[in-house]
Amino acid sequence: MENSNTAEYNSIDTDDQPHKTVGQVTVDNPRIICRGVNVYYDEKHAIHDVTIDIGSNEVIAMIGPSGCGKSTFLRCLNRMNDTIASCKVSGDILIDDRNIYDKNMDVVLLRARVGMVFQKPNPFPKSIYENVAFGPRIHGLANNKAELDEIIHTSLEKAGLFKEVKDRLDQPGTALSGGQQQRLCIARAIAVDPEVILMDEPCSALDPIATAIIEQLIDELREQYTIVIVTHSMQQAARVSQRTAYFHLGKLIEVGPTEQIFTNPQHKLTEDYITGRFG
């Protein structure tokens, strides 16, 4: 099954031909363990038997053409697909050796541990302060206002936003610029003390300067969190991630160290995508 640094896992293609993921899918210090994950939307088989570990304190980038399943797979990691009636997920996704799809799993607590930052900034129609305070209040993380103030301050600091908004915390979060709104959403995710942050194309709606700020922030946050980012920008994946996973037609084609994926891909589909032959 393993050959030098390459582990291959069978998955099922739509035409029943076997597919093998190329690369080292396991890591020594996994934060999330995914084994044989399949996703169906009614009869459509969207994700095919994906097996991959997501390491602690790493940034892993998921890349691939539009419609390849990378965002669908990302949404599996905190059960956001539960909100889609036609969606069925099978396989194992483990955090601390517990399957997050266990019927007794508290999904609200799961989404606190595995936060999500979406493609388009989505601050609540509340003040900057109340945007960040929302989660800690729901989860009872502060016993008094002083403790809540400290969480707000710390979260905004970690998101690189505090200095810009410290004198206007009572103003609407929606009044901020796009890049500031996205950092506010990151602060909101951080405020409930997650272990993992999922980012679904977090810079696609931002200008280059705001994008650079978010990318620097991702690098800083890696010291405390595991980050999974879906991006259409191969340049961004190369800049921010330590590992990269390439998806094609719902299958995990190749995974490996980012530098190796971009300079010496092992699978022809990966090479074709990286070199711009398709996608």
pLDDT at 278: 67
Provide the pLDDT confidence category of residue 8 given band limits of 50, 70 and 90: very low
Distance of CA 69 to the CA centre of its chain: 13
**pLDDT of 21-41, one tens digit each?**
999 999 999 999 999 999 999
* Cα atoms in the Cβ-side hemisphere of radius 13 Å centred on 30: 18
Residues shown for the chain: 279
CB atoms within 10 A of CB 128: 28
Average pLDDT over residues 164-191: 97
HEC assignment per residue over the chain: CEECCEECEEEECCCCCEEEEECCCCCCCEEEEEEEEEEEECCEEEEEEEEEEEECCCEEEEECCCCCCHHHHHHHCCCHHHHCCCEEEEEEEEECCEECCCCCCCHHHHHHHEEEECCCCCCCCCEHHHHHHHHHHHCCCCCCHHHHHHHHHHHHHHCCCHHHHCCCCCCEHHHCCHHHHHHHHHHHHHCCCCCEEEEECCCCCCCHHHHHHHHHHHHHHCCCCEEEEECCCHHHHHHHCCEEEEEECCEEEEEEEHHHHHHCCCCHHHHHHHCCCCC
End-to-end CA distance of the chain: 30
Its pTM stands at 0.91
The CA distance from 238 to 141, in Å, is 36
For the domain bounded by 2-274, which CATH number is listed?
A: 3.40.50.300
Average pLDDT over residues 141-163: 96
Domain boundaries, the chain: 2-274
Provide the pLDDT confidence category of residue 19 given band limits of 50, 70 and 90: confident
The CA distance from 147 to 53, in Å, is 35
pLDDT at 15: 43
